[in-house]
């Protein structure tokens, strides 16, 4: 079946959003569409079933989101090669969702690239055989001439896709950075010849203002290159989670507002503070809170005060030991100990809230010494080489702490090394559906709760139980979330509908109507 590659002139130009929007838009028009990214680098991963049917593996968050947008169940075939940076110039290499090696940047291409290409080609072949259309996402810029001989996502994907069916490429260019016309022309000049002929159009993203002001520039680019501009998309964030390293929230970020620029707090809202850990991972866990009306999520430096916070959430981390040492170096634990509001630790954050971490060498410190935790929960974590990766549903019955009152089945996923056990009496509100509550899943004491469940705040009952008391403590009433959560896929589809989708469909030879009047009907 045909493949459409959504490539970019640079990183962070909107490829993931365009791909997700196309997946939702085409799925809603009756196309059996599926996402794909041959190789990804991200610390934001999701646990999904392995395409081979043997357990679970990890994929980048964007391909998980794109699969949901396409209304298909995410599997490891959607992102068969994943590199997870872990510090010190090394990354975990995951093939088909499982850790294959820990590799230094300089050795990946020499020692592992051919295995990675085989994994990507195999996954793509399975998807192409089972679906009408593969929407593939590129990585960074398609014009990185120093990488063309080993670029899985941008160069190799259309090459192995051509072996089975037709391929087309849409180039995404970001006008917000400036120089958009030069970036388009320069990219088209630098792509390999066999890919240049596959580029069917350009989409300009993140435009503010009157798009007619671009007309003369667009005409000049089209005349010079012979490649049409298929649309100019407005600057609009549909709310999809991001995974690129440039998108990791920097210290001072408040839902896209920089505190250093003098942004004022909303007296009627609540502020959730997140310490910006050096090895922060899966920060997209905070996305469901960021989208709630009246809720601001602030990413703070480790030495920043907590005086104005209504709650603190400690996120996941790719290196619990090093991040715990960094928190100690900035006396974060002392400030957290006197903070009177609710505290939530997610995955690595749960480990940090405990009394100690043991067998620390597994986390890359080079020694086996015990590292003292923040001490807010009577639990300890011992690391091992075994990694737990699983989608899960748990029973949550919380009688105290930030989630008090929740009695519900909650869903999410686990990705972690290390096992946590209680060292003293503590509430264990999380339990397997067919088992007993255990600190291996989470623990709570008074104002503090920790859990290994990523995606915790994707559960509405959890969000409401966590947020409502924050407003009550300020003497106000939360208006509720309404329909704010869960519509990002549709917003992305509406955004990309501003481009010439008919031309995209025709470029890949897909025989389907895309206008609303013909929704879901094949052209015949």
Q: What is the sign, positive or negative, of the torsion defined by CA atoms of 309, 315, 320, 323?
A: negative
Candidates 319, 320, 321, 314; CA nearest to 297 is 314
Region of 310 please: left (phi>0), alpha (psi -120 to 50) or beta. Answer: alpha
Return the number of other C-beta atoms located less than 10 Å from residue 303's C-beta: 13
Contact 208/171 with Cβ under 8 angstroms?
A: no
CB atoms within 10 A of CB 515: 11
Q: Which residues are CB-contacts of 480 (< 8 A; sequence separation ≥ 6)? A: 293, 464
10's tokens? 């640079």
**Where do the DSSP E strands lie in 15-166?**
33-36, 39-41, 45-49, 56-60, 81-87, 90-95, 98-104, 133-137
Joined together, the tokens standing for residue 379 give 């639990």
The answer to whether 341 and 402 are in contact (CB under 8 A) is no
Indicate the helix (H) or strand (E) that contains 268: none
Please give the backbone phi and psi of residue 476, each rounded to the nearest 5 degrees, phi first.
-130, 175
Q: From CA 187, how far away is CA 495, in angstroms rounded?
A: 24
Q: What angle do CA 343, 345, 351 make, to 5 degrees?
A: 130
Tracing tokens 């646990």 back to the chain, one arrives at: 47
- Which sequence positions are flagged as catalytic? 347, 454
Contact 465, 405 (CB under 8 A): yes
Indicate the SS3 state at residue 377.
coil
Count Cα neighbours of 226 within 13 Å in the Cβ-side half-sphere.
5
Both tokens of residue 197? Answer: 């002929």
**Cβ-based burial of 152 (10 A; exposed 0-12, middle 13-18, buried ≥19):** buried
SS3 of residue 319 by DSSP: coil
The continuous run of DSSP H or E covering 256 comes out as none
The alpha carbon dihedral of 511, 516, 518, 521 has a sign of positive
Tokens of 343: 């505290």
- Considering only CA atoms, which of 462, 320, 459 is closest in space to residue 392? 459
CA–CA separation, 460 and 509 (whole Å): 41
């Amino acid at each position: 079946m045909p493949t459409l590659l959504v490539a970019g002139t640079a990183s962070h130009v909107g490829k993931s959003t365009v791909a997700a929007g196309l997946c939702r838009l085409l799925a809603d028009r009756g196309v059996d569409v599926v996402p794909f990214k041959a190789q990804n680098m991200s610390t934001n991963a999701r646990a999904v079933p392995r395409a081979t049917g043997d357990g679970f593996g990890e994929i980048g968050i964007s391909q998980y989101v794109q699969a949901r947008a396409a209304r298909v169940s995410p599997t490891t075939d959607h992102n068969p090669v994943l590199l997870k940076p872990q510090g010190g110039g090394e990354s975990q290499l995951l093939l088909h969702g499982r850790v294959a090696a820990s590799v230094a940047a300089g050795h990946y291409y020499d020692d592992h690239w051919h295995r990675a290409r085989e994994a990507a080609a195999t996954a793509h072949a399975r998807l192409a055989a089972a679906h009408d259309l593969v929407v593939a996402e590129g990585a960074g810029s398609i014009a990185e001439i120093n990488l063309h001989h080993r670029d899985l996502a941008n160069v190799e994907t259309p090459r192995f896709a051509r072996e089975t069916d037709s391929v087309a490429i849409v180039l995404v260019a970001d006008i917000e950075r400036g120089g958009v016309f030069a970036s388009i022309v320069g990219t088209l000049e630098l792509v390999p010849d066999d890919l240049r002929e596959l580029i069917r159009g350009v989409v300009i993203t993140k435009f503010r203002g009157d798009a007619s002001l671009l007309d003369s520039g667009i005409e000049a680019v089209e005349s010079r290159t012979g490649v049409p501009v298929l649309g100019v998309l407005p600057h609009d964030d549909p709310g999809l989670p991001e995974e690129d390293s440039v998108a990791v929230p920097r210290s001072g970020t408040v839902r896209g507002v920089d505190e250093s620029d003098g942004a004022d707090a909303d007296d009627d809202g609540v502020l959730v503070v997140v310490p910006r850990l050096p090895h922060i991972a899966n920060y997209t866990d905070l996305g469901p809170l960021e989208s709630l009306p009246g809720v601001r999520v602030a990413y703070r430096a480790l030495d920043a005060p907590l005086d104005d916070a209504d709650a603190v959430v400690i996120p996941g981390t790719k290196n619990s030991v090093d991040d715990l040492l960094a928190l100690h170096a900035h006396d974060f634990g002392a400030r957290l100990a006197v903070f009177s509001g609710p505290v939530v630790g997610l995955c690595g954050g749960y480990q940090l809230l405990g009394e100690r971490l043991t067998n620390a060498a597994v986390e890359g410190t080079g020694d086996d010494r015990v590292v003292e935790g923040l001490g807010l929960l009577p639990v300890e974590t011992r690391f091992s080489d075994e990694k737990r990766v699983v989608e899960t549903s748990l029973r949550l019955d919380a009688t105290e702490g930030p989630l008090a009152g929740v009695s519900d089945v909650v869903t999410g996923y686990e990705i972690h090394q290390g096992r946590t056990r209680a060292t003293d009496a503590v509430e264990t509100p999380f339990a397997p559906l067919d088992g007993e509550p255990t600190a291996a899943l989470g623990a709570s004491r008074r104002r503090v709760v920790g859990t290994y469940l990523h995606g915790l705040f994707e559960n509405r009952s959890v969000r409401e139980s966590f947020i409502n008391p924050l407003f009550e403590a300020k003497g106000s009433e939360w208006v509720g979330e309404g329909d704010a959560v869960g519509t990002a896929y549709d917003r992305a589809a509406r955004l990309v509908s501003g481009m010439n989708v008919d031309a995209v469909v025709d470029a890949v030879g897909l025989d389907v109507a895309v206008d609303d009047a013909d929704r879901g009907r094949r052209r015949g």
